[in-house]
């Protein structure tokens, strides 16, 4: 069920949010199997629980820095978000209250760098500043209530005059409905399309992208699955392998969790191999916020680290993240195991 929420970001934008039972998969009655063999049990993940956490901070800061650079060139870009989520999230809503993960992410960062009652922090990384500006744009009252997911982050940077296009895939029935409702109010017409389809499959026919008005073909693809299903790891590798073949000059950004699971461990290695084989430059940024010192031995630690692997990154991205990552660690790092790293190659 969709609930029309209070007027939110960007003045007239309304926020459509997911309502339902906490932590339960919400599916229409009697629907056991969804398209492409996905079973409803695979969809217990709801990004609303995690919106604005440290992983989103890393992901969206990297995404924004990438797009900012690429958009300096006039030619239009095809943007694809293969796993889009619901688009907008309430940070004061039921879902986020339960997990409260934004407290260790965007809320903490915003408080450290933008609190009115604290002295201004000097030399903040421009990429972090840019990220916080975008988040602040969705929260004009000053209180942090709304978090924009990747579809809205990308939409904020899109250019009408260059005819950038955005294609969003979201397979979850409730989240895709919510996303469609959130996007519909932008009146973006054909500039933004939402599909309730498998994003791994849906990407294929979009590559290579159509030529822009200047004749060049450009694409940026964000691949951000929830990795609830073990097969997602192999699907990401296969998807990247095919995408590079179909469109070797595209920029591909893959988010992945850093967790003690062999598939998760192998994914960045596999992506590095694929990029090296295709002789494409790559960059791998990781951020680990470490253990929560207030947690007891029986508390579940939750996700403490994640990475962004970028193939064909803008040549400026490495220098940008070299400044941003240590600052993210300073402000978000908690305890044992905290670290950041940046590798590149190609
Ligand atoms: N990219 C979003 C952001 O940064 O705001 C968050 C996406 S969340 C990590 C992953 C989403 O992928 C979930 O909403 C889930 O329902 C959806 N999903 C899972 N498998 C999918 C598939 N094969 N194709 C499209 N969406 C999928």
What pLDDT score does 242 carry? 98
CA-proximal residue: ligand 1, atom 17 (nearest): 83
CA-proximal residue: ligand 1, atom 4 (nearest): 150
Q: What is the pLDDT of residues 126-156, one digit of tens each?
A: 999 999 999 999 999 888 999 999 999 999 9
Catalytic residues: 224
CB 32 within 8 A of CB 97: no
Asked if pLDDT for residue 42 goes beyond 80, the answer is no
What pLDDT score does 94 carry? 59
Asked if pLDDT for residue 245 goes beyond 50, the answer is yes
Look over the chain and give the mean of its residue pLDDT values, rounded to a whole number: 87
CA-proximal residue: ligand 1, atom 16 (nearest): 172
What pLDDT score does 17 carry? 64
What pLDDT score does 297 carry? 73
Cα of 118 to ligand 1 centre, how many Å? 37
Q: Is residue 247 part of a domain?
A: yes
pLDDT range class, residue 43, cuts 50, 70, 90:
very low
CA-proximal residue: ligand 1, atom 22 (nearest): 198
Q: Is residue 107 part of a domain?
A: yes
When pLDDT is averaged across residues 265-293 and rounded to a whole number, the result is 97
Q: Is residue 8 part of a domain?
A: no
pLDDT range class, residue 268, cuts 50, 70, 90:
very high
Q: Mapping DSSP to helix (H, G, I), strand (E, B) and coil, where does residue 5 land?
A: strand
What pLDDT score does 10 carry? 62
β 78-81/165-169 pair status: parallel
Q: Is residue 127 part of a domain?
A: yes
Q: What is the pLDDT of residues 74-98, one digit of tens each?
A: 999 999 999 999 999 988 865 555 4
Least confident of 31-35, 208-212, 317-321: 31-35
Q: What is the pLDDT of residues 96-126, one digit of tens each?
A: 554 479 999 999 999 999 988 888 899 999 9
Please compute, for residue 218, the number of CA atoms within 13 A of its CA located in the half-sphere on the CB side.
21
Q: What is the pLDDT of residues 160-186, one digit of tens each?
A: 999 999 999 999 999 999 999 999 989
Token code pair at residue 73? 């060139």
Give the ranges where the chain is alpha helix by DSSP (H).
54-70, 94-99, 106-114, 126-137, 150-157, 173-184, 199-203, 231-246, 262-277, 317-332
What pLDDT score does 324 carry? 98
What ligand 1 atom has the least distance to the C-alpha of 222? 1
Cα of 28 to ligand 1 centre, how many Å? 19
When pLDDT is averaged across residues 284-312 and rounded to a whole number, the result is 90
Its domain, for residue 93, covers 14-290+301-345
What pLDDT score does 225 carry? 97
Q: Which residues are CB-contacts of 214 (< 8 A; sequence separation ≥ 6)? A: 74, 75, 76
Cα of 124 to ligand 1 centre, how many Å? 31
What pLDDT score does 312 carry? 98
Question: By CB neighbour count within 10 A (0-12 exposed, 13-18 middle, 19+ buried), where does 326 fall?
Answer: middle
Ligand 1 pocket, CB under 6 A: 43, 45, 47, 56, 59, 81, 83-85, 149-150, 169-172, 175, 198-200, 224-226
Question: Angle, to 10 degrees, between the axis of helix 317-332 and the axis of helix 106-114?
Answer: 90
What ligand 1 atom has the least distance to the C-alpha of 50? 9
Q: Is residue 64 part of a domain?
A: yes
Rounded distance between C-alpha atoms, residue 143 and residue 199, angstroms: 34
What pLDDT score does 36 carry? 43
Q: Tally the domains of the chain.
A: 1
CB 37 within 8 A of CB 51: no
CATH number at residue 243: 3.40.50.150
Question: By CB neighbour count within 10 A (0-12 exposed, 13-18 middle, 19+ buried), where does 112 fall?
Answer: middle
Q: Is residue 46 part of a domain?
A: yes
């Amino acid at each position: 069920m969709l609930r029309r929420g209070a007027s939110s970001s960007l003045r007239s934008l309304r926020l459509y949010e997911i309502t339902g039972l906490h932590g339960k998969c919400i599916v229409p009655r009697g629907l056991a199997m969804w398209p492409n063999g996905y079973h409803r049990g695979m969809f217990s993940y709801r990004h609303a629980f995690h919106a604005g956490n440290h992983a989103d901070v890393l992901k969206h800061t990297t995404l924004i820095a990438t797009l900012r650079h690429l958009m300096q060139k006039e030619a239009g870009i095809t943007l694809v978000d293969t796993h889009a989520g619901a688009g907008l999230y309430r940070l004061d809503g039921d879902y986020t209250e339960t997990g409260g993960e934004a407290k260790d992410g965007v809320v903490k960062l915003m408080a450290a760098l933008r609190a009115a009652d604290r002295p201004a922090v000097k030399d903040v990384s421009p990429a972090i500043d840019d990220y916080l500006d975008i988040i602040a744009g969705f929260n004009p009252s000053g209180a942090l209530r709304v978090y924009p997911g990747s579809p809205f982050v990308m939409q904020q940077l899109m250019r009408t005059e260059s005819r950038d296009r955005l294609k969003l895939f979201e397979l979850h029935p409730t989240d895709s409905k919510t996303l469609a409702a959130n996007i519909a109010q932008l009146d973006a017409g054909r500039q933004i399309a939402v599909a309730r389809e498998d994003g791994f499959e849906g990407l294929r026919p979009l590559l290579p992208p159509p030529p822009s008005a200047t004749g060049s073909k450009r694409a940026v693809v964000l691949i951000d699955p929830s990795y609830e299903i073990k097969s997602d790891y192999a699907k990401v590798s296969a998807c990247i392998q095919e995408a590079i073949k179909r469109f070797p000059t595209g920029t591909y950004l893959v988010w992945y969790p850093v967790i003690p699971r062999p598939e998760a461990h192998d994914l960045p290695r596999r992506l590095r191999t694929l990029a090296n084989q295709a002789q494409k430059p790559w960059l791998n940024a990781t951020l680990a916020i470490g253990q929560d010192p207030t947690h007891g031995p029986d508390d579940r630690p939750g996700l403490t680290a994640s990475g962004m692997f970028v193939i064909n990154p803008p040549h400026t991205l490495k220098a940008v993240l070299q400044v941003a990552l240590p600052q993210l660690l300073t402000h978000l790092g908690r305890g044992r195991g905290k670290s950041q790293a940046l590798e590149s190659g190609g």
